[in-house]
Structure 1
Amino acid sequence: MNHLVISCIGPDRTGIVDTLSTIISRHNGNWQVSSLHHLSGFFAGVIEVAVDEKNTQVLTSDLKNIAGLSCQIELAEPNSSQVSTNLVLELTANDRAGIVQEISSVIHQQGGNLIKLVSSQSSAPHTGQLMFKAKVQVAMKDDNLDDLISALEHIADDLMVDITKSS
C-alpha cells in the first residue's frame, strides 16, 4: 500500500472536494487525513491517501489533470523518529509581522518539530486591536519541555501560551 500526500490549490468553486473524492474513490484510494481551506478566494488543501501500488500512477495522473486545480503529489515514507512528548500550544498575542517566524524559530531551536499550525486573526472585543491566535502541535523530547516553555514566554510580554500534552 502506498501513502500519497496530495497538495492542491486553485480558484475556489463548488464541487472541488466532490471531484477529488470521486477520483480517489474510483482508484480504490482511502482518504485518510486532510486539511481543506478557503483562503482569499482560493481552495487550498492537503490530503493523505492510501492506495494500492497498482493504482498509484493512474490516480496521480487523474488528480494532476483536474482543470483549474494544481496538485502536487508525493509518495510518503514512514516516519520512524521517536518522540516522547506531543504538545498542543494555544497562543494569543497582539498581531504583528514576523510572529509566526518568532514562534517557529523558538520551537526549532528548542528541538521541537512543528507538526501542525492553524492560525487566525481577529479583533479584540473592546479595543479593536488585531489579535493573532494559533493552535500549534509540537513533537519533542520530554527533556526539552521546560526550555521550550521558557523560550516561548520570552518572545513578547503580550504572548499568552496555554500548553497541554496530547497522546
Structure 2
Amino acid sequence: MNQLIVSFITADRPGIVEVLSDLITQHKGNWQKSSLHQMSGVFAGVVEIAVSPENSQLLADKLATLAGFKIQIEQVSPEQEPSQSQLVLELTANDRVGIVQEISSAIHHHGGNLLKLVSTQESAPHAGHELFKAKVTIAVSPQDIDAMIVALENLADDLMVDISR
C-alpha cells in the first residue's frame, strides 16, 4: 500500500469531510488518521490515506483538482515503530507571545521530537486573563525524560505540566 499525506484548507461549509471521504472511498483508499479543524471561517486538515499503488496517482490527481481547496499531497513510506518512549504532556500557562517557541525549544534541546501539538486559548476562570492550554505528544529517549520535564517546568512559574506515559 502507498501512503498519501494530504493537507488542505478551504472555506468552511457543510459537507467537506463527506466530499473528501467519498473521493477516497471511490479510489479504494483507506482514511487512516486525520486532524481536522475549523478556525476563523476556514476548515483545515491533514489526512493520512492508505491506497493501492494502482489507485494512488489517480486519487492524488483527483484530490489536487477539488474546487475551492488548497491541497498539498505527499507520498510517504510507512514508519517503523519508534525505539523512543512516547509521552503525552498537558500544559497550562498564562498565555504570552512566544510560549510555543519556548516549549518546542525545551523539547528539542532535551532530545525530544514533537509528534503532535493541539493548543487552545481560553479565558481563565475567575481571573479573566487568557490561558494557553496544549496537549503535546513527544517521542523521547527514556534517559532524557526527567531532564526534559524539569526544563519545561522551569520555563515559567505559571506553567503546569501533567504527564502520561
TM-score range, shorter chain: over 0.9
Which residues in structure 2 correspond to 1:79-90 (within 5 Å)? 79-80=79-80, 82-90=82-90
Aligned position for 1:41: 41
> Deviation digits for residues 56-100 of structure 1, max 9, x if unmatched?
111001101111011111011233473331100000000001100
Task: Deviation per CA, 1:35-71: give whole Å up to 9, x if none.
Answer: 1100100010100000000111110011011110111
Aligned residue type for 1:122: E
- SS of the residue 1:125 aligns to: coil
> C-alpha root-mean-square deviation of aligned residues, in Å?
1.0
The runs of at least 4 aligned residues of structure 1 exceeding 4 Å deviation read none
TM-score (norm: length of structure 2): 0.97
Q: What letter is aligned with 1:70?
A: K
Aligned-partner SS, 1:83: coil
Distance 1:128 1:50 in 2: 45
Q: Deviations over 1:88-120 (max 9, x none)?
A: 000000000110010001101111110000000
Whole-angstrom CA distance in 1 between matches of 2:76 and 2:137: 20
Superposition TM-score, scaled by structure 1 size: 0.96
What is residue 122 of structure 1 aligned with on the other side? Answer: 122
Q: What is the aligned partner in structure 1 of residue 32 from structure 2? A: 32
Q: Which runs of 5+ in 2 are unaligned?
A: none
Unpaired runs of 5+ residues, structure 1, are none
